[in-house]
């Protein structure tokens, strides 16, 4: 009986600690955020896409950046479940910079990629 009580107590302690160890958003997962950046109705080739991990709103913290391809598409692979804030900046051939307002992206348990298209203006 004492062994059963000890085992039950240990099981409850392990479950408590496992539940309190929430994995934070970031790298090391299999999730992908992808999309297209547009400017004035066309592809924003070379736009810089920034992502902040565990952020629900715009922040000065940037955890990663990727550059959109010639067709304005970008891919951010290897993410875990969680909240991310994504925005984009495009600089035209005259040197003027345009920004997207940014958006909160929640990556959940669903299979498949998360598509986030942004427009810079």
pLDDT tens digits for 38-97? 999 999 999 999 999 999 888 888 999 999 999 999 999 999 999 999 999 999 999 999
Domain range summary for the chain, segments of one domain joined by +: 26-120
Residue/partner pairs of 112-115 with CB below 8 Å, 24 or more apart: 113/31, 113/32, 113/33, 113/34, 114/31, 114/32, 114/33, 114/34, 115/33, 115/34, 115/35
Burial of 46 (0-12, 13-18, 19+ CB in 10 A): middle
Please, what CATH class does the domain formed by 26-120 belong to? Answer: mainly beta
pLDDT of 13 higher than 60:
no
What tokens appear for 69 in the block? 């391809």
The pLDDT mean for the chain works out to: 85
């Amino acid at each position: 009986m004492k062994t059963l009580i000890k085992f039950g107590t240990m099981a409850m302690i392990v479950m408590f600690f496992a539940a309190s160890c929430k994995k934070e958003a970031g790298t090391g997962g299999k999730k992908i955020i992808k999309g297209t950046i547009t400017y004035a109705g066309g592809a924003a080739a070379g736009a810089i896409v920034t992502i902040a991990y565990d952020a629900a709103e715009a922040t000065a913290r940037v955890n990663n950046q990727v550059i959109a391809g010639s067709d304005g598409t970008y891919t951010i692979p290897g993410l875990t479940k969680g909240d991310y804030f994504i925005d984009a900046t495009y600089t035209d051939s005259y040197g003027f910079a345009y920004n997207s307002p940014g958006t909160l992206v929640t990556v959940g348990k669903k299979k498949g990629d998360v598509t986030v298209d942004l427009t810079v203006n």
